[in-house]
Amino acid sequence: MESQKVLDAKGLACPMPVVKTKKEMDTLSTGDILEIHATDSGAESDMAAWAKTSGHELLHQEKEGDILKFWIKKK
């Protein structure tokens, strides 16, 4: 999946992956996709909940070893 920006949030503990994601989303244009890489297991539920409450769309998520990857489209 093609993204406009990649956010490296690996090694950060909750709530920092979501905090950094929000900051990055604020810099993107409507329709842009942000790819996030995180290692905090809590990010799996946090990202989905944050995307829903903030009005953005979680397009896809997957796990590659210890790395959780998310693609969120700015609405």
Task: Tell me if residue 14 is catalytic.
Answer: yes
Residue 72 CA to residue 64 CA, distance in Å, equals: 17
**Burial class of residue 23, CB neighbours in 10 A (0-12, 13-18, 19+):** exposed
10 three-class SS: coil
Annotated catalytic residue, options 12, 14, 28, 48? 14
Question: Catalytic residues, which ones?
Answer: 14
